[in-house]
Chains A and B, each alone.
Chain A
Amino acid sequence: MIPMNEVMSYEDWLAGRKQRRLTGMRIAPEIIRRPSSSSDRRLRRLYNGERGLPFTPTEKL
């Protein structure tokens, strides 16, 4: 759990990544990146026509 009053360690945050992704997938599409925004031009220039790096597949988290 990401705590309210303590600093979460990096290791604990990493360890929770897959479970957080799986929870989100139960109630919304796996990838919800916006198809466009006001930053499109600069993003597509930097990411070879995409708006960012591809997300890491859930099984590899």
Chain B
Amino acid sequence: MTAEAIQSALADITAETDPTLKHLKLASLVSAVFRERGIELVVVGGSAIEFYTEGAYTSGDIDLCVVSAAQSLTIRLRQEVMGLLKAQGGPRSWEVAGAYVDVLGAFENGARTPVRSIAAPYGVVKLSPVEELIVERVLISKYPQDYPPAAECAIKVIGAALRREIQVDWIEVKRIAGTVGYTNWREVNETIDEQAKALGQRSPYDSNE
């Protein structure tokens, strides 16, 4: 991207008052400038769930991880790339265009399904696979203790998936929940079943499906 294109994008993002749009545009711009250096980023956690669900969940920050890199993402390189965006702070968290961006390191991903992609205004934004997000949020909602914000987040993403607003591989959800990293299939199954009933539909794990 040229300096003029970056400046124009920053002006647009700074002026954006819708938090979800502001975050998507900012994730798009940050992804684009890292992509030019051979580094692919993916939006993770609550930020990804916000883009999947419109769930009114996120605060004023976006979390990204490195999904692949053609070169080592050194602190100097991070500062150099984020400097193109007139970012303040670092080396893992910056203030840019009226929001915070965190680049957290390597992407921890146990899903076999692909990252999802949205062609946002300044470049493609990649989202953590929804299958693992479902399992992860259910885990956080129960362990080490009940945590209602994570439970509401899990419910919203499961609801969107059940209503086919997100294409989900339910077999993969079950597989991930059964891995040693989670071992929470019972809780995941119960949560999905409850939300299916709340939406007046059958669970994808209903034996008659």
Contacts and interface: CB of A to CB of B under 8 A. Distances in A.
A23 B114 contact: no
A44 to B, nearest CB: 9
The SS class assigned to the B binding surface is: mixed
Contacts of B57: 32-34
Interface residues of A, number: 41
B19 A5 contact: no
The SS class assigned to the A binding surface is: loop
Nearest to B98: A46
Given A29-B152, A46-B95, A19 B121 contact: no
A26 B100 contact: no
Given A27-B198, A32-B153, A46 B167 contact: no
B60 interface: yes
Contacts of B58: 33, 52
Interface of B: 17-20, 22, 24, 51-61, 95, 98-100, 113-114, 116-121, 124, 130, 149, 152-153, 155-156, 159-160, 163-169, 195, 198-199
What are the 3 closest A-B residue pairs judged by CB atoms, nearest first? Answer: A52-B60, A53-B19, A20-B54
